[in-house]
Amino acid sequence: MTKVRVLFADTDAMGVVYHTNYIKWFELGRNEFMRQLGVPYTEMEKLGLNLPLIKVSCEYLKFATYDQLLTVETEFDYIRRATVRFNSRIWDENMEKLLVEGYTIHACINHEGKVRRIPQLLLELINKYNISKGE
């Protein structure tokens, strides 16, 4: 989990968070989640791999406002041969009200844009993560 504070620039004319900012915070959550697992995106790039977004879904349940502190929760949903899906939830600071939930799906490609298998290093960490979570 990671925290983010809503900036004035994140809001629209109605004073609430503009909808695309939640997608940006999904990315923040994914990056921090991968870092916490020990595989920041910079390590994937060193392996010659990237995880571009191929699909996003977002359901807006409640709105956030300027200066509100939010909690971004991210977890793996699945990993397939060349794709990975992350589930994301954005909560109020105390995780009492769920504001937004959704997911992103990413393909694994090399620097030339060719689809590649998810690297073994990542698969091993995911298995370790799933076991420690009792899943």
**Residue 133 banded pLDDT, cuts 50, 70, 90:** very low
For residue range 60-92, list pLDDT tens digits in order: 999 999 999 999 999 988 888 899 999 999 999
Separation of first and last alpha carbons in the chain: 18
Strands 83-92 and 69-79: antiparallel
Catalytically active residues, by annotation: 12
pTM: 0.87
Domains and CATH numbers, the chain: 2-132 (3.10.129.10)
pLDDT of residue 121: 78
Q: Which of 61, 58, 57, 67 is nearest to 97 (CA)?
A: 61
118 CA to centre of own chain: 17
Q: Which residues are paired to 90 by β-bridges?
A: 72, 100
